[in-house]
Each structure stands twice: as structure tokens, then as C-alpha cells.
Structure 1
């Protein structure tokens, strides 16, 4: 009898038989730790098929022997129904061992798995490590002070991003480019921001401040980190500018399979759009941070200073602040005024405006900092209570028919108009047919996705359109 021969078996990506489907699920759930997988999910990536000489197989057991030879190596963790439902196809793009790309066909998602490496020091020649790596002892939950970061400009960030596009740097979670940075999505951002170490999607926010999507400028990033399973969808791109006045798509610089690319991309990405968060590098030259949230661009030079606001303040700047807040929806906080003497009404109205931007903690302390002031005087950011139109009609919500038109059991032309606009804006993935005039759960889920894409959460993203949702959707 001849000695059995072992050879690797790759399931066909387009084969629908139960065997290949099972192998594809096992491969996806068995992504190795070195490729960005979770240790608990580290299982077998390939099935080893025992192939014997044709005569020995046919003579020693026939069909039953062949069936036994096809038994896959079991993954390290059990395959649950939830696992199986979320993975339907695996495409090995560049390397059968190092890269697995999962396509979620049921949800129409392309490349839902975007694995990326963890934190690591720079690699390469000493010149690439100028400034040294950031201290590895700093916990990933700690914020990095802006004073400790290398200063850079927006132009420098974009120019560094372009160098990899020009070089067509191949995607890899294990290899490092000649400049010392890891060749995956987060390594790309680390390079563009000129960080002293290779970061990952779970730590990049330490070097940045969160901003609203309406404030995005070239050099900022859009980041989605999935803490439950970092290898499932986590990704980050560099914002390169809006493609047109509608602000529904932008030029994205990103490191993805098979190599670095620059292309027009729907806001915020092809999938998980609502879960991407906008961030701005703390070490950006010409910016500062202050009470009231986030970075203050150089355009906020007219900010009169923190001493002009707070208990005891009495000046024209307090009056101007109050009037700006009233114009943005803060009238209910004032029984009289606004006036020049700082009062509790000014603090509460300021805090309401800061909370409307999504700021928390010290960023929403009710004392206007440079960024709060900049948003108010420029008319940018979100109005008080206007996130989803939950606080009454909006003067800008032209043609909004009222909330009653969008409730279970309703059937009218406005529902269909809403649905068609959601599809046009790229938020129609929950429609299996239509959209049509009857309000359905698909309408609600699509509206919710659009609201979350605005940065809204909780009741502000309940899936039922208000005047502000309508205004933003049709503007």
C-alpha cells in the first residue's frame, strides 16, 4: 500500500456545495492572531485532505473512505449560528495564509473584514525612526498630549499619503515599508500623521480629537473600530476633500487590499458608514485645544478669551454669545435677555449647544472655548435640540409634512419620496423591494442609518424623520 500524501485544499469561492461553504466559514472564523485575529478565534485555516493512490482509495473503502478524507480540521472555537449567518463567502485576495477577505453577501457588504495589525514600534533604517517611538507603556485608553506630538500641517499629511499612492504600497499586516511603517490601514495613518510608532484602529483616537463630519478638512480621518471583533470591519481612511457641494462623497486615501489607493468614496465608507467617526490630529500646526471642545482652527482668532465668560463676567461678548445661542435654538433658556452679565442661562444654553455637537465631560462644561465660539460665529455645527428635529419645526425643513406621515400603517407619497432620497444618498440597503408609499421597518432602518451617519445617537437616531433629518436628507 502506498504512503498517504497530504496536500492543502482551498474551497472554491463560487461553489455553493455544503462542504465548500463549511470550509469557507471555518477559514473566516480561524483568522490567525498574527494576521489580526482574536486569540480565542485562532483555529485551523485550512482543511488537510488525505489523498491516497487512486487504487488504494477505491479498493479500501470506496465512497465512505473518500467522505472521511474530506472531514475538516475543527476550529478552536465552536461555530455558532450567529457566526454562520455573518459569513457566507471568503475570497483569498493576495496570500492564502496572511489575508482573508469576507464578503457578507446577505447584507450586500463588500469586504466587511478589514483586519489590521496592533501597536508596534517603527521598523527600518534609523532615519525612519527620528524622534523615537512613543512610550509603549502608555495604555491604549490614555490620551496623548498635543505638546508631545510631532507638529505637522494638513499639506504635509496629504503629501505623505500621496507618496504611498504613488509607490503603490502592497497591503500587509506583517510587512513594513521602507519608511518604517506597517503596510496596513492604521500603519498608513501613523505614517501620514508622522507618529513615532505604528498604531492600530483601537489606539489612533489617542492622538486626535473627535470632530463633526461637517468640519472635516484634508488630513483628518474617518475611523471605525469594532471593539467586539477588531478584525471584522475595523478600518480608517484619510479625508482628502469633498467631491462636490452635496458632501455625500469624498476623496479617500486608504491602505487596503491589494495596495494603497485614492478614490471617491461614499460618506463615510462602503459599509458600516454610520459607525465611522471623524477625528483630527492633535499635533496639527496652527491649532489649539480649549474648553468647549475640540480643536480651534486659526480662523477662531476672534475668540475674546476664556476670561470674558463665566461667573462675574460683564461685557459685550456675553451679550453676543447669548444672541448667537438664541439664534441656534437656545431661546428657552432665557427668561430675559440675553444681556452683558453672565448668568446661569448663558451656561445652560452654552452646554446645550456643546452637547448638541456630541461633546461630553469637560468638553461640555457650559463655558465657551475657541471651538464653541468658532461654530457659533460661523453658523457651523448642529443647532440646540435640532439633531433629528425632535424639538419642534425647523425653518429650514422645507416641505416636511410632519412626523405623523412616517409611522407604522401610514401610506402616502411622502414615504415614497423619503425612500427614494435615501436610496439616492446611499442609505437604501435595507430595501428588498421598493421603496414604496407604505411605511415599513426597512424605511425606519434606513432613516436610522442616515441619522447615525450624522453622528446622532439615542433618541436622535430612532429612525423616524423629523424636520432636521428631512432638511439634511434633501439639502
Structure 2
């Protein structure tokens, strides 16, 4: 018996039936031929333009009603099912103001080619559209050149060179765990089977509760840019939203307790000479606190300090081995890669670190948490608050300098313990410290 031959159905350009209209749209969503797409897609896109033009000339006949695309460049888009109230359509890749833009063709975009942004930069850029109440549109472009849909909004906040869509944004970021989310990261749902169904992206603005059940979402959705508490990860398709961190992210905060010149970049590796036998500086203290946060507290009998010791070496080595490194790569001396993973909160934690009571760092005293004080304990406290979901008052993230945002976040944590009055004044005492880090 002859095996039937199945040929791909190519719809007629002028057929008004629902089947042909739908097929023309599916073909138009595919990549261009030069990007590896099917040749029929080019014809479908051309057909969409021709049919639209015919509809205009004829005064809006049946053909125009069957496949009338939006004005301007065509973007893969449709009403999603993410938000039961408004829907969240998403657009396609394109240049600023609709100009041609090749964009990434495959794989991750190199960090070196991306604009450098701090978390504060990203959130502040997101707030611009919020203040200006930018209307939602898949076809229109705001005065800054970015398309006024959800993926255009993220492209603007991250400062990307063009307008990306939900199918390409992941190439500009690194996937992270949900518990590691911090302001400026995104939650992305791309439906590869049908990008027009539910695909959406939001900007993470911080946790609203310590249980991490809700977060502040900055998003471009109908009717305009909005900021609101949102269930983790979204109203629907929650399990399919994936968190990503921008690859061009830099940290703006610096320790100032004894570092050379009073400051040191929180991201840039200070050099191997700052670590090892005989080293005594603020970088050693900072390294120790970062290692404690990642499960290395059991190696410290009295807490991290500025003088390099065997505890620093063993904790560093444990972190390096947790990444799967061996030999000279796990010699207990931090190099650029070790430092970058620690300061960015990336990589694997030290196994078994969180279950040890010794992982609670020593309480440094109330004098470290007063207006105008600047030290690594303040930043360490802030990072822990954010990790536990009590960082909503930070607009630029934890820093070494004690401020009102620190006090209010500590107060939120204290109230979550059921404390009131003077017991929840926002100034960490020994019991607040113990509960934060236990």
C-alpha cells in the first residue's frame, strides 16, 4: 500500500475563511528564511501586507477582515491568558522606532557587548514609563524608541540596543532560582508551541512578604504601565515563569571599612594580593561575610574579620569545591571567578552550610547600626533581609551605609516575629540578629 505524502498546507493569500486566515498568521510568526525559517513564512508576511492594502482600497471587504495586521512592522503577538482580567500580548523583535534590527540569532549574548546596568538603573528606568503612564500597544513606539508592549518594556529597562520579544529576552540573561530573585531581574514565560498564547514578562521589584508568595511586578500590560503586588509567579501559568538575571548587571555598592582609599568595587576582583597569609584588609572581611551567607559559617569560630586565617582558606575551598572545581581551582584562595560568583550571589552554596548552628555570624553590637554608620555588617544585614523577603524598602539594594530603608526592612522582619512597640523599632538587637541568620 502506498504511503500517503503529506504536504505542508499553504493558504491562499486572498481566502477569507478562518482556516486560511489562521494559517497565514502562523506562517508569519515563523523566523525569516535568512534566519532558518520556512520559505512559506515570507510569502505569508507578504500576503498579509497585500491583503491589508486591498482591504483599504476596497473600503474594508471580507479579505481585510480575515487577516488585517496592525499598522507598521508586523510583530508576532496575541492576547495571552496570563492575567485573567486584561490578557498579556507580547510583541516581536525589532529595532528602536521600528527600524530593522537583526538581534541575536543564537545562544547567549556576550556580557562584554551589553550596556552595564545596576539594579537601581533598571528599576529607575522602569519607573519612567510608570510615571508617564505609557499606554500599552504592540505597534506603537514610545519617544525613547522602545515598543510599548511587555517585552519592549523590559528591553527599555535593561537598556538593550533593540526591541526584543519573549522568545529572545532569555539570551540577554542568566537563569536563576526563584529564591535568588532581586530587583531588576525578570520573570519570563514564553510559550514556544504558540507564542501568542499567554507569553508575557514582568520585572521583579522585590518581595512583599517573607514567605515569597507575592512580589512587586513592574509590567507593561493593558491599559498602561503598572506596578502592583503579584502572586508568584503570575496569575496563571505560574509554574512556567522562569526567572532571569540581566547579563550586564553590575553592583554599585562598596565597602568602606578600611579598604584602600576608603572604597572598593563590590564587583571587581581586588587582586590576589589581598588574600592569603599575612593579608589584613576589608576585602578579607567582605569575603568572609559572603562565604558565611553561602553556608560557610561553620568554618568561623568567632566570625569573619580583616585578618586572613585558616578559616577563610577552608571556607573559600569549600565554596570552590561546591562548584565542582578540583586541584588548583580549589586551593582556598579566591580568584576572579570565585569572587564574581560570591558578590553576585551566583553558583552553588556550600553543602550542609545552612543546617549548622555555627553558621550564625557573631552579633557585632548595636553601634554598627546607627545613622551615618558604614560597615560590612550593615550590608550583610541588608542582603539577608532581601534573601528572606524583607527588602521592599530598598530602591537601590543593600549597601554598607545604614539608612532609613534598612531600619524599615528590619522593622518589617521584627513585626513578622509578632513583636510590637519598642521590640519592633527597626534597630537589630542580638535576638533579631539570631533569628535573621539562624
- Please tell me the TM-score bracket, short chain as reference: 0.3 to 0.5
TM-score (norm 1): 0.44
TM-score (norm 2): 0.47
